[in-house]
Structures are given as C-alpha cells and as structure tokens.
Amino acid sequence: MTTVHDPERKKALLLRLKRVEGQLRGIQRLIEGDADCEQVAQQLAAARKALDKTFYAMVGCVMVQGDTPPDDVANLLARFA
C-alpha cells in the first residue's frame, strides 16, 4: 500500500482530523456536563460522519496518485469501509 504524497492533500486530511479531534473534545465536555443523551448521540454521529469523509478523502488520494493497483484499493475499501 502507498502513502499520501501530495503535501496539499496531506494537509487537508490533517485539518479534517483536527476538526474531528475538536468535535470529540466537545463531546467529552457534553458528557462531563451531563448533557442530554440525544444531544451527545447527535454529536457522536457528526464526528463519525466526519471520520468517514476523511477516510474516503484518503482513499481518493490513493486513487488519484495512481501508484496503487485497483484491486488493492478495492481491498482497502472492503476491509475498512
């Protein structure tokens, strides 16, 4: 398998992950502050979707680079998506 080579794409992925990190800290504060479970669930779902988008963006980077065989990309998606 390959790594993300493009510095701009790598930066974008890292920025996405930093936003998710902030979301997770916010969820922790909600739980510590005894927030309603529905509010916590909503924020957890948003964080999960943000992680999913980051995953698919990373897979897109691998595909655009073109140095990974399509079967390997398909295997990556099958295993982790």
Domain count, the chain: 1
> Does residue 32 belong to any structural domain of this protein?
yes
The range of the structural domain enclosing residue 18 comes to 7-65
Residues of the chain with pLDDT > 70: what percent?
99
- Amino acid code (one letter) for 65: Q
For residue 42, the model assigns a pLDDT of 98
**pTM for this one?**
0.85
Evaluate whether residue 80 is within a structural domain: no
1 pLDDT more than 70: no
Mark out the alpha helices in 5-69 (DSSP H runs): 7-32, 37-65
Domain contains 48: yes
Average of per-residue pLDDT across 27-31 = 98
* pLDDT one-digit tens code per residue, 62-72: 999 988 999 99
pLDDT of residue 81: 87
Q: What is the C-alpha separation between 41 and 76, in angstroms, rounded?
A: 28
Q: Residue 39: inside a domain, yes or no?
A: yes
- Residue reference for tokens 């691998």: 62
Mean pLDDT of all residues in 3-9: 90
Q: Tokens in use for 54?
A: 């980051």
The per-residue pLDDT for 24 is: 98
